[in-house]
Chains A and B, each alone.
Chain A
Amino acid sequence: MTDKPGGGPAGSSGGSAAAPPNLGGRGGEAPVRGSRGPLLYSDVIRERWRRPHFRGELPGASAVAEDVNPLCGDRVRLMVALEGDRVATARFVGDSCAICTASADVLAELVVGRSRAEAVRVDTSDVLAVLQADIRPTRMRCVTLPLSVLAMALNGKS
């Protein structure tokens, strides 16, 4: 009896065999072990974990929120600087796993330049589409924690 690979996550590229877009990742590195379909640790996740683009403090942020994942104790704080109604920039800090860190980093990138209302509408499938990874249900909270923290920040419940 062997494990079947789980179905692709919602928002992943519909079982396409094409290589995921390599967003700034260095090519040629050996994939993380395991021979199942899309990898848990995709190139995007590996790259964002090693060299996150949006990690750091944001002094004078207009909106800040922080939360923990009770499952693993991961903690993420998101800081957003608004210019009028637009997200000028976003940063995150926290103790988090590779998936949660990559999710926060991708999310910060996705919301920059959007209006507050548009930023709140960025959802799990948008982040998963960039991550290009086989996120199993047990790790989905790692993806969604930054999204719920962002909603807290932008809805003023920090």
Chain B
Amino acid sequence: MRLDERTRPDFPILERVVNGHPLVYLDSAASSQRPRTVIEAMGQYYARSHANVHRSIHTLGEEATELYEAARDRVQRFIGAGSREEVVFTRGTTDGLSLLAETLRRTLRAGDEVLITELEHHSNIIPWQLATRDRGAVLKAVPFGDDGTLDLEAFDRLLTRRTRVVAFAHVSNVLGTINPVAEMCARARRVGALSVVDGAQAAPHLPLDMSALDCDFYVFSAHKMLGPTGIGVLYGRRDILESLEPGRGGSEMIKEVWIDRAQWNDLPWRFEPGTPSIAEAVGLTAAIEYLEKLGMERVAEHGRALTRQALEGLRAIPGVKVYGPPATTDRGAVVAFTVAGLHPHDVAALLDAEGIAVRAGHHCAMPLMRRLGVVGTSRASFSVFNSPDEVGHLLAAVAELRTAL
């Protein structure tokens, strides 16, 4: 049985009719849909167990704490982290990257360098702009080639003893490029730089193993991997987290407080000020359970098959241009494309009239768009519930577009 045949009944939103057509949701790279088990787990939590975590000495508080901390254990196993102390909950990828930049900025001195890439989402650019600007440090970016892959020779040239942090996406949210994470992290370590990986587009699709990637930090969101909005994960190597002063303060992250000083809490709570996203952690547990039941290898293969079908089909349509590495390369489950004579937003609106949801615009990656020489692109992205038939609908609709306006 194909993966989507198994999963589709689990996603209530797929029953929707949009503009007279059954919904074809091809925007999971922005935010996926979620299975009934995730929705129900969160409803159950609110209906039966909700209380604040950690300090509530009553039954519900204990239940909530147990569920919240169980989510951490689940994440630890899912990503192959060495210990639960290495799993910090955030509000999402943007929040995780901001937290890291706010925390690491204190270690930056004038003349230090932070190295990102031209492939990055704004979330992995702006926090580093803010951090470097305030400290007189320098932000540099690794260019990518016409095939959508990073220029690793330029990476080596830009990586110097002055480089303190190297931050890059595991999978590009526009081009689908899968970067050689382990190799890049190893090179960063050789010059004494910390590695930060934006895993937002990888966690939903690829089996993850922190020990194999051997990165210092890895960040992702739940809502792109069948989970709820409002929660994400920051993985950090324990020895490094131990050595860092928290960048943000509040309750939960302290042991003892005086007016002029405080003693920080243990890991991972040191980096989780305030009441966390508890129901969302419960939802994330259910999402991971769902993905693990399917098997991440099968999830990855399903994404690859749909991406290949879309890439080859789109490329064959006159006037359509696709971006990123060729179909024969291992790619993430996104396909960015443009249609000659049509603006990407008009493409998205015309496809929406057919019930097909795609993203259009700059995809929060303006430097990347500038490099491609376009204002924006349309982007179809795939998840476990998408079928080859749906990709067929997309291809048929796109083929009609050139005469639509």
Contacts and interface: CB of A to CB of B under 8 A. Distances in A.
Interface of A: 1-3, 32-36, 40-41, 46, 49-50, 71-75, 95-99, 139, 142
B17 A2 contact: yes
A99 B348 CA distance: 13
A134 to B, nearest CB: 11
Interface residues of B, number: 24
B353 A1 contact: no
Interface in B338-353: 342-346, 349-350, 353
B16 A142 contact: no
Nearest to B17: A2
B375 A46 contact: no
A20 to B, nearest CB: 16
Given A33-B353, A40-B349, 20 more contacts: A1-B16, A2-B17, A2-B20, A32-B350, A32-B404, A33-B350, A33-B354, A34-B20, A35-B19, A36-B19, A40-B353, A41-B346, A72-B361, A72-B375, A72-B376, A73-B361, A73-B362, A74-B345, A75-B375, A142-B345
A49 B405 CA distance: 8
A139 B349 contact: yes
A73 B17 CA distance: 30
8 contacts: A32-B353, A33-B354, A41-B349, A49-B405, A72-B362, A72-B376, A73-B361, A73-B376
B405 A46 contact: yes
A71 B375 CA distance: 11
Contacts of A41: 346, 349-350, 404-405
A74 B17 contact: no
A97 B345 CA distance: 6
B18 interface: yes
A70 to B, nearest CB: 9
A96 B353 contact: no
B360 interface: yes
A97 B374 CA distance: 13
B19 to A, nearest CB: 5
B213 interface: no
Contacts of B342: 98
Interface in B1-43: 15-20
Contacts of A96: 343
B376 A98 contact: no
A149 to B, nearest CB: 16
A71 B363 CA distance: 9
A136 to B, nearest CB: 9
A41 B16 CA distance: 24
A71 B361 contact: yes
Nearest to A1: B16
B361 A1 contact: no
B366 interface: yes
A99 B345 CA distance: 9
Contacts of A49: 405
A132 to B, nearest CB: 16
A139 B343 CA distance: 13
B320 interface: no
B104 interface: no
Contacts of A32: 350, 353, 404-405
A74 B344 CA distance: 10
